[in-house]
């Protein structure tokens, strides 16, 4: 069972996934700090409050933490936009590889195309001869 586990861990997909999770975690921290220290103060300039997480509506005993929700929405939008740009960049590079010129057809394929063209020419010339020859007694 230990050998199977080593084989599972050694697969490329598992290692790629682990790297993705670690980088994603670090990226999430960067985005949270970007929102907390740069974007929220910028938005706060327009609505009068620097720290959005302190925006709270109180109705009776219930508190609605709108600012914390706005922080989460901003975090999501930034992460979604960056992922969009990454996917778009990867697709751009993949598209270039797919558009590489195709290989020249093999000799057999070229020969078969020539045969097909010759047969088409013979069929069209035979049809012309049949219409030109008089039918008679």
Q: Is residue 58 part of a domain?
A: yes
Q: Is 136 contained in some domain? A: no
The predicted pLDDT at position 7 comes to 75
Contact (CB, 8 A) for 61 and 79: no
Nearest-angstrom CA–CA distance, 52 and 31: 16
Q: What is the pLDDT of residue 96?
A: 64
State which residues form the domain around 54.
2-105
128 assigned to some structural domain: no
Q: Does 116 map to a domain? A: no
Looking up residue 78, the CATH number of its domain turns out to be 1.10.1200.120
Contact 74, 35 (CB under 8 A): yes
Q: Are 26 and 69 in contact (CB under 8 A)?
A: no
Percent of the chain with pLDDT over 90: 5
20 in any annotated domain = yes
- Tally the domains of the chain: 1
Tokens of 39: 């974007």
Q: Compute the distance between CA of residue 63 and CA of residue 73 in angstroms, rounded to an integer.
A: 19
Residue 81 lies inside a defined structural domain of this protein: yes
Q: What is the DSSP letter of 54?
A: G
Band of residue 62 on the pLDDT scale cut at 50, 70, 90: very high
Q: Is the pLDDT at 16 greater than 80, yes or no?
A: no
Q: Answer whether residue 33 is part of any domain.
A: yes
Task: Identify whether 61 is part of a domain.
Answer: yes
**How does residue 130 score in pLDDT terms, banded at 50, 70 and 90?**
low
- Residue 135: the pLDDT is 58
């Amino acid at each position: 069972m230990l050998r199977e586990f080593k084989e599972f861990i050694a697969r490329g997909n598992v290692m790629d996934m682990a790297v993705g999770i670690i980088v994603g975690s670090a990226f999430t921290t960067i985005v949270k700090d970007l929102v907390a220290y740069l974007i929220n103060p910028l938005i706060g300039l327009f609505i009068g409050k620097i720290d959005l997480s302190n925006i709270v509506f109180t109705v009776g005993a219930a508190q609605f933490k709108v600012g914390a929700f706005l922080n989460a929405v901003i975090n999501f939008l930034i992460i979604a936009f960056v992922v969009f740009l990454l996917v778009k960049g990867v697709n751009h590079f993949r598209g270039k590889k797919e558009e590489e010129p195709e290989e020249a057809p093999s000799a057999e394929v070229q020969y078969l195309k020539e045969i097909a063209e010759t047969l088409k020419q013979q069929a069209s010339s035979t049809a012309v001869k049949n219409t030109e020859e008089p039918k008679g007694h």
